Amino acid sequence: IVIMHWPKRLFNVVDMKVEMYTDIQDIKEHGYIAVSHVWGDQKMHAADTLGITAGVDWQVPLSDPKKMDRLKNAMIGFEYKYCWFDVLCMPQDEERKHEINEEIPLMGSYYGGAQMTLALSDEEYVMSEEFVKWYIMLGDAMKSGREFTIYETVWLTAVKVALLDFSREKWFTRVWTLQEVALSKATILVGANGCNIHLSNVIRRLLYASSKNPMYDIVFRSHAGALNQIGDVVKQHREGTLDLARVMLINASRFCSREQDRYYGVLGILGYTDLEVKYDLDMDSLNKVVVQYACSKGDISWMAVGEHLSAGFIQPLHNKFQYIGWKWIEDRPGVCNIAFYENTVRINAKVFGNVIRIERFGESGKDLNDRIVWIIHKLRSWGFDNTMILMAMTGYVGIRLDRVRTGLEVVDALVRHGSLENLHASISMDENKVKHVHDIIATISQNTRICQASTVLVQMHVLMDNQMYPVIVSGEADVGDVIVMPRVHDFGNRTLGIVVSETSIRRGTCLMPEKNLSEERENLDFTPHWFVL
């Protein structure tokens, strides 16, 4: 159930005044536009110097007063009278900052309730003939769902210059941009020269092209990454697969004026509309507050954060981190019985196995190819066969039977030749097999890359069947540690393992073997475990 919160105030661009939402009689009939912009190097302006006639009794922070003219021109062009513009519609004075804090969790609704969002850019844009050709071509392909013709494929992969140059566009790098685009019905990028780019349609076209062939991104050169990242967030949000850890992982490399906004800038997209905003909290305290709140809403993605960035069970989500798996949920709502105390957290879990051997990847392991080959040779030296090695290196993802043989050939080829580049030469392949090999390598590479920042190879003695299994741990582990299993699974139906020391300190995470889990999981004895918070 989505609860819509309407803005308290809206800006009337015709009469140049701010009005209370409840005083505008026909607003629900005609709607309003939301405004997105980069705050930049702000200067304070009196409202009357910006042409505002009423409703604003505070100094307005703007990096460029010309934004007002660009906004008004765009509003007139789209034939809208009212907009929500944060610096005009939320009091900016120190005495009323509590009002802003109350509205921040609701801002996602403001964008979701708008007819469209105008993103005011400080850069100038020109839509070239090549861009228009691409836009029309992709629109036609999307409408029919067709594949691209040979001519179109050649053209798409032969473009020499980016169709649109976003290299200087700071708006793409903001924390708040993710939420604003994901929740908006449509987003229009308004260039400083008045050029309007329907960004939502551009992103949809780019995602469609990429789904056919990732090489089609080349039309935007290096700028495709920013567009694809926003597009992926939009897609995940609409599919319901976006969780706290996933969006915070994306936010870690984005820009915000206040560090706390790494959390507050995603409240709307996650639906956390009643979380109290406090800018006086330090980042570690805020991290724990948000994680505990997320947990109360059923979001347990924070448990799958890898590495060992801090001694506590809750790892800092405002720093760059590794996230293993995809969209973690409890087997049944509330089955983990998670409870937070002053210094500990309680989770229903099962001790799955003991760590009996470890090997850390050395400093030379920064190259992905070297890391993959090292893992294979180390596991073979421990006595594991290629089947077990394949399972461990793909994160126990459950490879289809018709691809297991191909996967085993890949492992064997890597043992013999020691390089991803030589695989095609060492494996005889038809067209179908090429795709299978690419899928296997992609899965191995993704799982290995996830653990790249801090990799520990572990031999685990599983208590349930008295067998040995290899796992790749993101974080730390030592002989004598245990690996516990909470009752959670991801979209790949994989199980999460948490490495815990003898003193109940969380040390890392891993993806667990599925053996004996699917059939017997309901009969396992999950008991309360306490971990250092």
3-state percent helix, strand, coil for the chain, nearest multiple of 5: 40, 20, 40
* Cα distances (angstroms) measured from residue 345 to each of 32, 336, 338, 398, 495: 45, 11, 7, 31, 20
518/342 Cα distance (integer angstroms): 35
User: Which positions ≥6 away from 217 have C-beta within 8 Å?
Assistant: 206, 209, 210, 224, 228
Profile the chain (533 residues) by mean pLDDT over runs of 10 residues. Answer: 82 98 92 96 95 97 94 96 98 94 96 97 94 96 94 89 88 96 97 96 92 83 81 91 94 93 96 95 97 97 92 94 91 96 96 94 69 90 94 83 83 82 70 78 79 77 87 93 94 90 95 63 84 95
Amino acid 418: pLDDT: 75
Amino acid 521: pLDDT: 67
> Are 347 and 531 a contacting pair, CB within 8 Å?
yes
Identify the three-state secondary structure at position 104: helix
Amino acid 2: pLDDT: 52
> Closest Cα partner for 218 from 151, 155, 173, 150?
155
133/128 Cα distance (integer angstroms): 9
Q: What is the DSSP letter of 23?
A: G
* Phi, psi of 497, rounded to the nearest 5 degrees: -110, 135
Residue 31 burial (CB count, 10 A):
15
Helix (H) or strand (E) holding 356: strand 344-360
> Are 456 and 404 a contacting pair, CB within 8 Å?
no
Total residue count of the chain as it appears in this document: 533
Amino acid 424: pLDDT: 66
Amino acid 516: pLDDT: 47
> Are 190 and 67 a contacting pair, CB within 8 Å?
no
Q: Which amino acid is residue 504, in one-letter code?
A: S
Amino acid 335: pLDDT: 95
Tokens matching residue 487:
């009752």
Residue 158 burial (CB count, 10 A):
9
* Cα distances (angstroms) measured from residue 148 to each of 19, 83, 156, 208: 50, 40, 9, 11
504/486 Cα distance (integer angstroms): 15
> Are 266 and 233 a contacting pair, CB within 8 Å?
no
Residue 194 burial (CB count, 10 A):
13
Decide: residue 42, CB within 10 A, 0-12 exposed, 13-18 middle, 19+ buried. middle
Helix (H) or strand (E) holding 290: helix 283-296
Identify the three-state secondary structure at position 330: strand
Helix (H) or strand (E) holding 190: strand 187-190
